Chains A and B, each alone.
Chain A
């Protein structure tokens, strides 16, 4: 297990270093997040729907689509110069490769979420800081399973002709359960309700994470073998 984690760390560190140097996906995700929040801020009618009711949906839709930009990039970098062949040939387990990619994607999405929340507070004036700890928990729970599925699908579609189109098509149906749960919990949190009122949704998120992190870890080796 220590060996798997060590190799996963090497891959994640390499991916993050590549991303911070090229800034391809990060820059796109930040710009996309800012753009969507600005559009929603100026396009909504605050007298029709209260901000507090609308804001969680806007936030989570923004997070989801911004994350896809990073997921698309995850295996594209390995196609450049066929580095993926080198990784598959290296004496590391496929699980290390998956967890490395998964870890790097989680860091990427966490960065996008931090910037997104700051912009969200700025534009929508929602007091996120009052519920920051439970909100952090919801973000973590809603992101882990979704990113695990996204990492698997990213590996599956990377060698297809329309990879960037295929990923959202495959991923969106799997995104619905955590997205709905995350929005439902966030609505309650922003309305000042305690986290204990969302026990059912939290269990759903935890179950989804457990199921899909396990399943994607098991399925990944088959997706990268020719």
Chain B
């Protein structure tokens, strides 16, 4: 569903990505852990086609239409209501009118935003805005999810609900790449794990049965070593 082949990218003299390769199939969730500045966001932007890599190539089966993206910012318009935002983005992705209403209702209910649907996004709290951003990304029911620190700003309950939602989506065959600097956040969701430092995967493979504590220890060793 998703592949990267020898991806490299530089911003001037700074090498943000350095020879990254992997493939991801249906139902797989790759969680990429790395410290700030490791190149995680750049990798996601290259995978999404928002940045053209200096070398190598990347692709998603189904092209741009197949991608659901959650970035650092909500990509919502502050002066539009939550519902207007969802309708706008859904229509851009050619979601049929009847389906648009059904998906909008389903996501608003699932993310606890029904009471906020008519409210302008600029009046929402940080956590509510993040939940609205998640709804926006899922409006067209994308088969591939690219998630950049999606738990940021969510309280414990909302984070747990998002974790459950992502788990269900993976079980329904969605391929997901999730990047985070917090090992505890993504462990449960991961089928595969990569540790990233200075634009490289310093470790990459199936999570196996490792829990958050085991992954934290492996992460410290991989990122601090070498």
Contacts and interface: CB of A to CB of B under 8 A. Distances in A.
A169 interface: no
Given A81-B73, A82-B71, A82-B72, A90 B89 contact: yes
Interface string B68-79: 010111111111
Given A14-B88, A90-B89, A80 B78 contact: yes
B76 A81 contact: yes
Contacts of B71: 82, 85
Q: Give the size range of B's interface with the partner.
A: 20 to 34
B48 interface: yes
B97 to A, nearest CB: 13
Q: Give the size range of A's interface with the partner.
A: 20 to 34
A117 interface: no
A87 B71 CA distance: 13
Contact of A80 (B63, B77, B89): B77
Contacts of A91: 63-65, 92-94
B93 A90 contact: yes
Nearest to B63: A91
A86 B94 contact: no
A18 B80 contact: yes
B170 interface: no
Residue among A7, A89, A92, A226 facing the most chain B CB atoms (10 A cut-off)? A89
A147 B16 CA distance: 37
Contact of A77 (B45, B51, B77, B92): B77
B163 interface: no
Contacts of B52: 225-226
Nearest to A23: B79
A91 B89 CA distance: 11
A89 B48 contact: yes
A8 to B, nearest CB: 11
Contacts of B56: none
A225 B45 CA distance: 12
B77 A83 contact: yes
A21 B79 CA distance: 7
B172 to A, nearest CB: 21
Nearest to B46: A226
Contacts of A21: 79-80, 120
A22 interface: yes
B67 interface: yes
Contacts of A90: 64, 89, 92-93
Contact of B75 (A22, A77, A85): A85
30 contacts: A7-B92, A10-B88, A17-B79, A17-B80, A17-B84, A18-B79, A18-B80, A21-B80, A21-B120, A80-B77, A80-B78, A81-B73, A81-B74, A81-B78, A81-B121, A82-B73, A82-B74, A82-B75, A83-B76, A85-B73, A85-B75, A87-B92, A89-B48, A89-B69, A90-B92, A90-B93, A91-B93, A91-B94, A226-B45, A226-B52
Interface of B: 45, 48-52, 63-65, 67, 69, 71-80, 84, 88-89, 91-94, 120-121, 136
